[in-house]
Structure 1
């Protein structure tokens, strides 16, 4: 076998496709390997560049291959698709592995840093909590719909439904029959069980945020609580991968979508193309920042109040989330404490300007 310089790996549950090329980009081998034989196959190779899509189990395989001495790069799937021969109409594992190998050889390709087991373990807490929150929301919506069939209507707030649910179900004057009352009370118990699970995850996430040095610095910002700080630190392997705060904001998906051409800039809605979990947390945190701005007198709070008066509440939420993302980048990269009265230094005009 010729010397392999670069390998594209298309991951799967059981059978993994390999596409390897040499230094001159000539194909050395194309083959499918069973999952339990993958590491032994790579162990017999000289160290080379291995590329994979940043998908399920990619970080695990990346850590294992790095331990064997290989250089591993993870590529976002959307950056691989343009290199697939045949485009979206012709897709199979061999074409995917070839496209991954080709994309990894581009000089300006962007890669995803490999997460450590500790970071992924923290993200397990966040993802499990998110699943329980979605399950609780679905249960509450189901209960609202079922009760409305019997003329029982409640305000939209969850605490209002929680307050009057039992009394409404046990009220003998409504049309609910016995089996329906039993079923609804079982759902009530399920609701309480979900609340307890979510509270447990909240405590564990808060413990992580209070023990992590970087997360504690992030929580000094108004509008950044344990949930957002913990998720930020666990998601961003290295904030230095972004050249500036705007790149981080773009990665999260809270920058305007561009449709510019001919020197004319056209900006639309936010892209929403990045990390939806962090974006949601930052927007929710922006609500807290707006609520607290009226009680504060620092430079950032005055900017929030002026912005809200000029462009309205909803747009201000997105602007604050964008601002918070940029500040988080500065905190993580520079290692500084948050200063709400910080004023950026402006460049001095040159002589004769």
Structure 2
């Protein structure tokens, strides 16, 4: 059997596809692997060049497989297609093989998760604020634009003596008010964590010296 030197790994949640080729590019194997089998499979192979698409879990698998002695390269999704045999050209292959995604550390991924979680909470808060404004407007209660002004609407919802809100409306809108306040608290805690991280990261500190760039945008 020819010795494998290059492997293409198609990532999935449960069943992975792995294709191996020798130094001349001739196929050596093409098989499926269950998630639990992946690392055991690569443990038994000599050091290879392993390529995979830079999808959500790719950085994790890249770190794990690289720790077994293999050279791992992550390919941007836009440049994966040139590797497909249909429409394959040497020029396209040459261009694609020159474009790789750096493998992120777990710490880098964690920092990105903090930013993405904050962005998610901001979107959810905006949706809740818009819903509260719309519902209260149906009852003739409005507030001027701006997130700061929403506190006045929340106060109306929580004011049991305000007769403008029917009991059923107050019961429903209190849930939205709770979500707005909870989101604001979570966003504030995440932003404090981002500021602390910025103080300990040299690259982020340099970025914050640029006018109009703060801890969040850095």
Q: CA deviation at 1:11?
A: 0.3
1:157 aligns with 2:158: no
1:136 aligns with 2:87: no
Q: Is the 8 A contact 1:54 1:74 kept in 2?
A: yes
- C-alpha deviations, 1:93-129, integer Å up to 9, x for none? xxxxxx9xxx887675300000111111211211111
Q: Is the 8 A contact 1:75 1:104 kept in 2?
A: no
The alignment partner of 1:52 has SS state of strand
Q: 1:107 and 1:185 mapped to 2: Cα distance?
A: 54
Describe the shift of the 1:108–1:52 C-alpha distance in structure 2 as closer, same or farther (beyond 3 A).
Answer: closer
Counterpart residue number, 1:40: 40
1:202 aligns with 2:191: yes
Q: CA deviation at 1:84?
A: 3.4
Describe the shift of the 1:139–1:86 C-alpha distance in structure 2 as closer, same or farther (beyond 3 A).
Answer: farther
Q: 1:77 and 1:108 mapped to 2: Cα distance?
A: 12
1:22 aligns with 2:13: no
Describe the shift of the 1:86–1:180 C-alpha distance in structure 2 as closer, same or farther (beyond 3 A).
Answer: farther
TM-score (norm. length: structure 1) = 0.56
Q: Is the 8 A contact 1:152 1:168 kept in 2?
A: no
Counterpart residue number, 1:178: 167
Counterpart residue number, 1:62: 62
Q: 1:12 and 1:105 mapped to 2: Cα distance?
A: 27
The alignment's C-alpha RMSD in Å is 2.2
Describe the shift of the 1:43–1:209 C-alpha distance in structure 2 as closer, same or farther (beyond 3 A).
Answer: same
Describe the shift of the 1:6–1:227 C-alpha distance in structure 2 as closer, same or farther (beyond 3 A).
Answer: same
Counterpart residue number, 1:8: 8
Q: How does 1:81-92 map to 2 (within 5 A)?
A: 81-84=81-84
The alignment partner of 2:216 has SS state of helix
Q: How does 1:204-223 map to 2 (within 5 A)?
A: 204-223=193-212
Larger mean CA deviation between 141-150 and 160-169 belongs to: 160-169
- C-alpha deviations, 1:303-330, integer Å up to 9, x for none? xxxxxxxxxxxxxxxxxxxxxxxxxxxx
Q: Is the 8 A contact 2:121 2:187 kept in 1?
A: yes
Describe the shift of the 1:8–1:151 C-alpha distance in structure 2 as closer, same or farther (beyond 3 A).
Answer: same
Q: 1:201 and 1:139 mapped to 2: Cα distance?
A: 19
The alignment partner of 1:224 has SS state of coil
Q: How does 1:290-309 map to 2 (within 5 A)?
A: none
The alignment partner of 1:227 has SS state of coil
Larger mean CA deviation between 12-21 and 106-115 belongs to: 106-115
Q: CA deviation at 1:182?
A: 2.0
Structure 1: which 5+ residue stretches go unaligned? 88-98, 230-353
The alignment partner of 1:226 has SS state of coil
TM-score (norm. length: structure 2) = 0.89
Q: 1:104 and 1:7 mapped to 2: Cα distance?
A: 16
Q: 2:140 and 2:146 mapped to 1: Cα distance?
A: 18
- C-alpha deviations, 1:146-190, integer Å up to 9, x for none? 12222223333121222344237747453x310211221232122
Describe the shift of the 1:104–1:212 C-alpha distance in structure 2 as closer, same or farther (beyond 3 A).
Answer: farther
